[in-house]
Amino acid sequence: MDQAMTMDTSPELTGTVRGKVGMWLFLVSDALTFGGLLCAYGALRMGSADWPVPSQVLDIPLTAFNTFVLICSSVTMVKALSAIRHGNVKGLQKFLLLTALGGITFLSIQAYEYHHLLFVDGLRLRTSLFCATFFALTSFHGMHVLSGVIYILVTFWRSTQGDFTAEKNYRVEVLGLYWHFVDLVWILVFTFVYLL
């Protein structure tokens, strides 16, 4: 009985467990939201007689490049976690900034695409189910990318305060879970909305 009472409940261990469980619960609920949006997109697309062919309306090569940028940012996130697990704070900081740069680049290209679609091609949200679902899905994802970039920059700042070491880095791992989820969701959105 006494052994059970003396289990290791150090702040690092409980914080690690709580942080990961909390992030996984958030990601599951968020996955359900994205799943609902993708199902709504599919149902409206199947029921619409005048749904445009994505390749005739959307810039597939530009968005494919944007997808590549986001995938590369996932690689730099892996490198950031690996760096701090090896006690390399400078490496962590470098790869966090590269990851944030990937996210900012993604958002910039998405903003360019939105501007082009709305002001050059003249797509109208009020009169097109395609436009409404396209912008709902992609902007919801874009807000996740923006939140992720802010999260990365806050983590970068915390790294300058000495918050992370080779032994104490679970918060970087939790950030990585979020960022990889954002990347994975985009691959699904890109496939369903741009390619199919």
The CATH number for 132's domain is: 1.20.120.80
Tally Cβ neighbours within 10 Å of residue 44. Answer: 14
| Residue 76 clears pLDDT 50, i.e. is over it | yes
- The rounded percent of the chain whose pLDDT value lies above 90 is 62
Tally Cβ neighbours within 10 Å of residue 114. Answer: 16
The model carries a pTM of 0.86
Mean pLDDT confidence for 120-128: 65
More confident residue, 32 or 12: 32
Mean pLDDT confidence for 184-188: 95
Q: Which helix (H) or strand (E) holds 87?
A: none
> Rounded to whole angstroms, how far apart are CA atoms 67 and 60?
10
- State the pLDDT confidence band at 182, using cuts at 50, 70 and 90: very high
Select the highest-mean-pLDDT range: 3-12, 46-55, 128-137, 152-161.
Answer: 152-161
- Average pLDDT of the chain, as a whole number: 88
Contact 193, 40 (CB under 8 A): no
Contact 102, 73 (CB under 8 A): yes
- What pLDDT is attached to residue 70? 96
Q: Which one-letter DSSP state was computed for residue 58?
A: S
The string of pLDDT tens digits covering residues 143-173 is 999 999 999 999 999 999 999 999 899 999 9
Residue 156 CA from chain centroid, whole number: 17
| Domain count along the chain | 1
- What pLDDT is attached to residue 49? 79
Tokens at 55, concatenated: 């390749």
| Residue 122 clears pLDDT 90, i.e. is over it | no
Domain that holds residue 154: 2-195
- What pLDDT is attached to residue 145? 97
- Contacts of 174 by beta carbon, 8 Å cutoff, 6+ apart: 19, 20, 22, 23
- What pLDDT is attached to residue 2? 46
